[in-house]
């Protein structure tokens, strides 16, 4: 079969999943025709994704969240107003999608949480089967654990997930822990990780790894580091001050440009991981058996949910600030009990392809 991927480009997680699934479908004899990436101009598609996806990439203007001037906090209502202002750009994207799909003629569309796919299904009478894959679809599971409060944000999150999956043949939700499938189209599967992660060997060296989705948090890391220079930090970020592959701040703090191979190598060797609470990076750290300190991006309710569920799954602890001193104490008492999780994840390749093929 010929596949086409749609990838929501706001975070790195959906790109990571697309890379993993690309390897899986090719091992099963299928091909990847084109990859559509929804962009807003706020983030650049990382070089590693362009190099490794192995298919034509088509960038489309897509709804996205906007950050404050310091690039730390999500401005929800300003984002809604801005996206409404850009409605004609999105209509242009839908028209381009329609043209490209008619040219490519795929057998199946895989949607990694791109909202324009749901709108394309609704308004363009798309007859090609669409399968939606993202951990966010678990928000529609009756047993999913939501933090108390956040009523409006919870409704917005569930509505957005619904928009991305309009008229989908099947919704596949990745979870940090097993849940029963809901009746209907919602299927729960383990995270599917890239092959190089499953084959990696782990060790423990004396440094903490840091991943920052928003570059504005670099100043928070530096501020903590100035009072804790004995602790070695390696930080991966989009921070614009990193001119080459890395920026050596001093003997115990180094900032690296985003590079998946370097990052995964360091994750396999670090003592612990400090990160904003993206789903995929938490899954990877759990597989490596590394404790995680999660600081959700401000006003990013999705990451708030991730951090609470990861805590429930035993991945680590969370905070509203980069209080790494608290994490240092936690690392010393952390016990790695990831054997059941790892066994579950290793079956994910077979599970996800079974669900895709059964939907067709």
User: pLDDT digit of tens for each residue in the chain (360 aa)?
Assistant: 999 999 998 767 899 899 999 999 999 999 999 999 998 766 678 888 899 999 999 999 988 776 656 556 667 677 778 677 888 999 999 999 999 999 999 999 999 999 999 999 999 989 999 999 999 999 999 888 888 888 888 998 899 999 999 999 999 999 999 888 876 679 999 998 888 898 889 999 999 999 987 777 888 999 999 999 999 999 998 777 777 788 889 999 999 988 888 999 999 999 999 999 999 999 999 999 999 999 998 888 899 999 999 999 999 999 999 999 999 999 988 988 888 999 999 988 889 999 998 888
- The pLDDT of residue 318 is 96
Cα gap 18→312, rounded to integer Å? 27
Tokens found for residue 62: 């897509």
Give the Cβ contact number of residue 40 at 10 Å.
18
90 Rama class: left (phi>0) / alpha (psi -120 to 50) / beta: alpha
User: Are 204 and 210 in contact, with CB atoms under 8 Å apart?
Assistant: no
Tokens found for residue 263: 């990052």
Does domain 196-343 fall under CATH 3.40.50.2000? My reply is yes
User: Are 274 and 246 in contact, with CB atoms under 8 Å apart?
Assistant: no
- The pLDDT of residue 319 is 95
Q: Distances in Å between the alpha carbon of 164 and those of 7, 40, 96, 123, 199?
A: 11, 17, 18, 13, 33
User: Are 292 and 176 in contact, with CB atoms under 8 Å apart?
Assistant: no
CATH fold, domain 2-195+346-359, is Rossmann fold (3.40.50)
Tokens found for residue 335: 């016990």
Tokens found for residue 286: 């759990």
First vs last C-alpha separation in the chain: 10
Across the chain, the runs of DSSP E, i.e. the strands, are 2-8, 31-39, 56-61, 108-112, 130-133, 170-174, 186-189, 208-212, 233-237, 246-250, 253-257, 272-275, 292-294, 316-318
- The pLDDT of residue 73 is 61
* Domain ranges in the chain with CATH number 3.40.50.2000: 2-195+346-359, 196-343
């Amino acid at each position: 079969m010929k596949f086409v991927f749609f990838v929501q480009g706001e975070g790195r997680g959906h790109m990571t999943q697309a890379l993993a699934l690309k390897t899986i479908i090719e091992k099963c004899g299928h091909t990847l025709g084109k990859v559509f990436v929804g962009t807003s101009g706020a983030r650049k598609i990382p070089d590693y994704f362009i190099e490794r996806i192995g298919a034509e990439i088509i960038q489309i203007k897509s709804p996205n969240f906007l950050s404050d001037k310091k690039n730390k906090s999500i401005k929800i209502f300003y984002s809604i107003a801005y996206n409404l202002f850009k409605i004609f750009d999105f209509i242009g994207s839908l028209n381009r999608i329609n043209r490209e799909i008619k040219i490519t003629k795929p057998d199946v569309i895989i949607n990694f949480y791109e909202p324009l796919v749901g709108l394309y299904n609704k308004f363009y009478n798309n007859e090609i089967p669409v399968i939606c894959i993202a951990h966010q679809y678990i928000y529609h599971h009756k047993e999913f654990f939501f933090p108390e409060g956040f009523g409006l944000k919870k409704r917005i999150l569930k509505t957005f997930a619904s928009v991305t999956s309009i008229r989908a043949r099947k919704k596949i939700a990745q979870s940090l822990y097993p849940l029963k499938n809901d009746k209907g189209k919602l299927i729960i599967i383990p995270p599917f990780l890239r092959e190089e992660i499953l084959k990696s060997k782990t060790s423990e060296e004396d440094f903490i790894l840091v991943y920052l989705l928003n570059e504005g948090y670099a100043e928070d890391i530096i501020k903590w580091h100035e009072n804790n220079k004995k602790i070695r930090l390696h930080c991966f970020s989009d921070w614009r001050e990193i001119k080459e592959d890395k920026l050596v701040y001093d003997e115990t703090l180094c900032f690296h440009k985003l590079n998946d191979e370097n990052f995964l190598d360091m994750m396999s060797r670090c003592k612990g991981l400090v990160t904003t609470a993206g789903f995929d990076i938490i899954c990877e750290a759990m597989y490596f058996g590394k404790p995680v300190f999660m600081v959700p991006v401000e006003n990013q309710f999705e990451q708030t949910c991730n951090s609470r569920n990861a805590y429930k799954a035993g991945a680590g602890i969370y905070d509203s600030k980069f209080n790494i001193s608290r994490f240092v104490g936690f690392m010393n008492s952390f016990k790695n009990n990831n054997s059941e999780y790892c066994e579950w994840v290793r079956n994910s390749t077979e599970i996800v392809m079974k669900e895709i093929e059964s939907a067709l």
